[in-house]
């Protein structure tokens, strides 16, 4: 579904991504792990067109994304869930979801995402539908921003640090939500620092060092790679 090939991205003169490559198959949850500042979020932004790679290729279902604007990439079926969530705090949950509606080439194998379907999949949002976004807990805000992204009917969602700052019980709820998204037929690429949480839902993993991939493998390979984890994940 997605193939990132040798991309280089800069912030000004700072060379952030230095030949990053990765691939996702349809229906996977793939997790990109690494410490702060190594380029994980920049990888998502480079796929989404928020950062323009200076070299390399990003193919989504065979179409080149490099050079396209973010709204064009969204219309092709790629959704983006930013780290800071960016919900509309003065709008209700229901109004926030309506802001995400667009006709897109996606929706997963179970059909299009609608308000009714979101409430069916995520009953906590249905219960809070009339609450303003600013009155939600951190976990509820994370659920809302993922659900709002799904209202655009993507085939792939890019999720940046979905469990950051959340209590363990809320982390579990967020991971269960992402598993439900994947089971609906939407592919997920998530950025995380907490590999112990991510191994509960992810199918495969990439680990970044400074601007480069240093590991690719499944859960079994990740658990066996003690030196890699010690050098690139542990504090």
Q: What percent of the chain has pLDDT over 90?
A: 60
Read off the pLDDT of each residue in 214-218 and give the average, rounded to a whole number.
96
Report the alpha-carbon distance of residue 96 to residue 92 in Å, rounded. 6
- Long-range CB contacts (< 8 A, 24+ apart) of 214-222? 216/22, 222/195
Read off the pLDDT of each residue in 43-59 and give the average, rounded to a whole number.
97
**In which band, very low, low, confident or very high, does the pLDDT at 174 lie, cut at 50, 70 and 90?**
confident
Report the alpha-carbon distance of residue 172 to residue 143 in Å, rounded. 12
Helix (H) or strand (E) holding 16: strand 14-24
Cβ count near 228 (within 10 Å): 17
Which residues fall within 8 angstroms of residue 179, CB to CB, at 6 or more apart?
A: 29, 201
The CATH number covering residue 55 comes to 3.40.50.300
Read off the pLDDT of each residue in 165-183 and give the average, rounded to a whole number.
85
Q: Which residue has the higher pLDDT, 97 or 169?
A: 97
Among 55, 62, 66, CA closest to 23? 62
**In which band, very low, low, confident or very high, does the pLDDT at 86 lie, cut at 50, 70 and 90?**
confident
Report the DSSP beta bridge partners of residue 64.
Answer: 59
Number of domains in the chain: 1
**In which band, very low, low, confident or very high, does the pLDDT at 110 lie, cut at 50, 70 and 90?**
low
- DSSP 3-state of 189: strand
**In which band, very low, low, confident or very high, does the pLDDT at 105 lie, cut at 50, 70 and 90?**
low
pLDDT of 196 strictly over 90: no
Which structural domain, as residue segments, surrounds residue 39? Answer: 2-232
- Long-range CB contacts (< 8 A, 24+ apart) of 18-23? 18/210, 18/211, 18/212, 19/56, 19/212, 20/46, 20/56, 20/208, 20/211, 20/212, 20/213, 21/56, 21/213, 22/206, 22/213, 22/216
pLDDT digits 0-9 by tens, 122-161? 888 999 999 999 898 888 888 899 889 989 899 999 999 8
Report the alpha-carbon distance of residue 6 to residue 15 in Å, rounded. 13
What angle, rounded to 10 degrees, do the helices at 168-183 and 138-150 form?
10
**In which band, very low, low, confident or very high, does the pLDDT at 104 lie, cut at 50, 70 and 90?**
very low
Give the end-to-end CA distance of the chain in Å, rounded to a whole number. 33
Alpha helix (H) residue ranges in 151-215: 168-183, 195-198
CA atoms within 13 A of residue 151's CA, in its CB half-sphere: 21
């Amino acid at each position: 579904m997605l193939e990132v090939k040798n991309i280089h991205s800069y912030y000004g003169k700072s060379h952030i991504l230095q030949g990053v490559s990765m691939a996702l198959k349809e229906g996977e949850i793939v997790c990109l792990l690494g410490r702060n500042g190594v380029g994980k979020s920049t990888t998502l932004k480079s796929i989404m067109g928020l950062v323009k790679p200076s070299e390399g290729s990003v193919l989504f279902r065979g179409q080149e994304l490099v050079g396209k604007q973010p709204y064009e990439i969204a219309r092709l079926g790629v959704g983006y869930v930013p780290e800071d969530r960016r919900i509309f705090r003065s709008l209700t949950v229901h109004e926030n979801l309506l802001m995400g509606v667009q006709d897109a080439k996606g929706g997963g194998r179970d059909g299009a995402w609608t308000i009714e379907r979101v409430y069916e999949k995520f009953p906590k949002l249905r219960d809070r539908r009339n609450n303003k976004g600013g009155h939600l807990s951190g976990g509820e805000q994370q659920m809302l921003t993922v659900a709002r992204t799904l209202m655009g009917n993507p085939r792939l969602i890019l999720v940046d640090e979905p469990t950051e700052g959340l209590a363990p019980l809320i982390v579990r709820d967020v991971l269960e939500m992402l598993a439900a998204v994947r089971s609906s037929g939407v592919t997920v690429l998530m950025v995380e620092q907490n590999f112990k949480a991510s191994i509960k839902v992810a199918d495969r993993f990439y680990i970044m060092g400074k601007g480069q991939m240093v590991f690719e493998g499944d859960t079994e390979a990740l658990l066996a790679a003690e030196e890699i984890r010690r050098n690139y994940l542990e504090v």
